[in-house]
A = this chain, B = another copy of it.
Amino acid sequence: MRERFHEHLDSFAATLAILCESSGTAMREATVALLRADLELAEKVIDDVGRIDQLALGCEENAFTLLALQAPVAGELRQIVGGVHIVADIGRMGGLARHVAQVTRRRHPDQVLPDDVRTEFAEMGRVAVAMAATAGDVLAGHDPERAAGLDLDDEAIDEMQSRLLVHITGPAWEHGVQAAIDVTLLARYYERYADHAVQVGRRVVYLVTGSNPPGSGALR
């Protein structure tokens, strides 16, 4: 019975890592679709995220099964409850990748992004996908050290978002209000995606050490 419980717990952790990888892939492909105005790829992302949702729901059900199967001890409980939070964060990451794909689909066959912001979004996409990979590694290895790196990446994305907002409200912007709005919302999606990746890292740190990293604020 105890053994079966631990098998379930391992499978739960493995599913989290798969979910995190899938959310990373979704954002990578969503960014490519955005930069290429690739409708087919955008639709693939939207379908894939539907599957991530299903997997996330199954993962949560699995957590309840684990809890019902055998009264777990405190440390195991903390792991499961923390895991349920992590599922929610990773699910949101997938949802944000879907938002990026939906903007691409909405504007197709037009390009969403004017030329002067394409590099910035390519870079935001690159950092966001790297953050999903780091969060997945932290999840798999329970290595709090790597979680700290997520904060640096998060700051980088915040700075890119700020630069974009300054650019689109400045005199050099000549693409009108619609493009400005698309850029604003897209930048926000990447910024939120990064925030959730940071939260995944913090959750793992919390599970391992029992306390929040300094200056991390409330876990939400």
Query: Is A168 part of the binding interface, using a Cβ–Cβ cutoff of 8 Å?
Result: yes
Let me know if A217 and B169 touch, CB within 8 A.
no
This chain: copies in complex: 2
Identify the closest chain B residue to A206 (Cβ).
B60
Q: Give Cα distance in the complex from A133 to B218, angstroms.
A: 23
Q: Give Cα distance in the complex from A220 to B95, angstroms.
A: 9
- Chain B residues, CB < 8 A from A208: none
Q: Give Cα distance in the complex from A91 to B217, angstroms.
A: 12
Let me know if B169 and A218 touch, CB within 8 A.
no
Let me know if A220 and B88 touch, CB within 8 A.
yes
Query: Is A135 part of the binding interface, using a Cβ–Cβ cutoff of 8 Å?
Result: no
- Chain B residues, CB < 8 A from A91: 218, 220
Q: Give Cα distance in the complex from A178 to B72, angstroms.
A: 53
- Chain B residues, CB < 8 A from A165: 181
Let me know if A57 and B188 touch, CB within 8 A.
no
Identify the closest chain B residue to A69 (Cβ).
B74
Identify the closest chain B residue to A92 (Cβ).
B220
Q: Shortest beta-carbon distance, A200 to chain B, in Å? A: 13
- Given A165-B181, A169-B178, A181-B165, decide whether A78 and B84 contact each other with a Cβ distance below 8 A: no
Identify the closest chain B residue to A58 (Cβ).
B218
Enumerate A41-98 residues with CB–CB distance to B below 8 Å. Answer: 53-54, 56-57, 60, 63-64, 67-68, 71-72, 74, 77-78, 80-81, 84-85, 87-88, 91-92, 95
Apart from the given pairs A56-B220, A181-B184, 7 other A-B contacts in the complex at a CB distance below 8 Å: A53-B218, A57-B219, A64-B78, A81-B84, A168-B181, A177-B180, A180-B180
Residue ranges of A at the interface with B (Cβ–Cβ < 8 Å): 53-54, 56-57, 60, 63-64, 67-68, 71-72, 74, 77-78, 80-81, 84-85, 87-88, 91-92, 95, 165, 168-169, 173, 176-178, 180-181, 184-185, 188, 217-220
7 contacts between A and B (CB under 8 A): A64-B77, A85-B85, A91-B218, A169-B177, A184-B184, A185-B188, A188-B188
